[in-house]
Amino acid sequence: MVVGVHDGMLKVRVAAPAESGRANRALCALIGRELGVRPARVTVVAGTANRRKRVKVQGVDAGAVAARLVP
């Protein structure tokens, strides 16, 4: 679930545990679903083992991401 914005970053919650990459996959699935793209087009590019992550979404410009994800 997209919770909001905190310190200029999108805050998201997923129910998957942070083991074996399950939380990262859940995050990509959530963002993909919210943006209407396949989860394979969403990748974690930084912070795979951290709570703060940077993701890359292929096929959607930054303005569209902000308009669709920021509550």
Statement: residue 10 has pLDDT above 90: no
Domain 2-69, second-level architecture: 2-Layer Sandwich (3.30)
What's the rounded Cα separation, in Å, for the pair 63 and 46?
21
Q: Which pLDDT score is estimated for 29?
A: 95
Q: E strands, 1-66, where?
A: 2-6, 9-12, 42-46, 54-57
What's the rounded Cα separation, in Å, for the pair 42 and 12?
15
What's the rounded Cα separation, in Å, for the pair 37 and 32?
5
- In this predicted model, what pLDDT tens digit does every residue of 11-52 receive, in sequence order? 999 999 989 999 999 999 999 999 999 988 999 999 999 999
Q: Which two tokens stand for residue 28?
A: 């990509």
